[in-house]
Amino acid sequence: MVERAKAMAFAGGALVFPGGRIDPGDHALAATVPDAPEDAAARIAAIRETIEEAGLPIGLSPMPGAATIEALREGLHAGGAFGALLADAGATLDLATLTAFARWRPAHAHARIFDTHFYLARLPAGAPEAEVDATENVRLFWASAQEVLDDADAGRARIIFPTRRNLERLARFASIAEARADAARHPVTSEPLETARRR
């Protein structure tokens, strides 16, 4: 989990999963992936944002060493193209390591409408320690889903509704294998929701 800086316009001060917007470069990179899944750009964004925000190399093959991961992260923070940075690092995307878990796409009239994908990923063996980026986020930590829920319920932490619902679902499982099995039984749909009518 990461804690967003209080100054952030959206969910300032809240605990969230690492993530962010899908950039045009993610769509361009997805177009180069053979047999890419429909949500390839979202998966690429999840991999990129996890490297940027936490320094964790999910979805890469082979897993880069710590120095290479840091160079990737610095390159992303400097605005470098993810595809070019991966090529320089000698790494390729392995989108199959991410399991689609949920999609939050509320159909209501609001100032900001989000279409957010949530994925499960196993931390690769030998991955470096997670490290907060200290830009959008001010703190990073590992915790069980139930621990985060308990902290939120006790007033020690703030979480937004989509985060809460995913944590509540995750808290039901004792392992990533169980969570992935549940995800397989409840596939994420790509069907569009009805547009909310403005009153």
For the residues 183-194, what does the mean pLDDT come to?
75
Flag whether the pTM goes above 0.95.
Answer: no
pLDDT in tens, 109-163: 665 678 899 999 999 999 999 999 888 899 999 999 999 999 999 999 999 999 9
Q: In this structure, how many other beta carbons lie within 10 angstroms of the beta carbon of residue 117? A: 20
Q: Is residue 195 part of a domain?
A: no
Q: Is residue 198 part of a domain?
A: no
Return the SS3 of 6.
Answer: coil
Range of the domain at 66: 2-185
Q: Is residue 192 part of a domain?
A: no
pLDDT in tens, 63-115: 999 999 999 999 999 999 999 999 999 999 999 999 999 999 877 666 567 88
Q: Is residue 6 part of a domain?
A: yes
**Is residue 8 very low, low, confident or very high in pLDDT (cuts 50, 70, 90)?**
confident
Please state, in angstroms and rounded to a whole number, the distance separating the CA atoms of residues 100 and 191.
15
Q: Is residue 151 part of a domain?
A: yes
**pLDDT of amino acid 166:** 97
Residues 6+ apart with CB under 8 A from 15: 1, 2, 3, 4, 148, 151, 152, 157, 158, 159, 163
Terminal alpha carbon distance of the chain? 37
**Is residue 7 very low, low, confident or very high in pLDDT (cuts 50, 70, 90)?**
confident
How many structural domains is the chain composed of?
1
pLDDT at residue 193 is higher than 80:
no
For the residues 153-176, what does the mean pLDDT come to?
96
The CATH number of the domain where 115 resides is what? 3.90.79.10
**pLDDT of amino acid 114:** 80
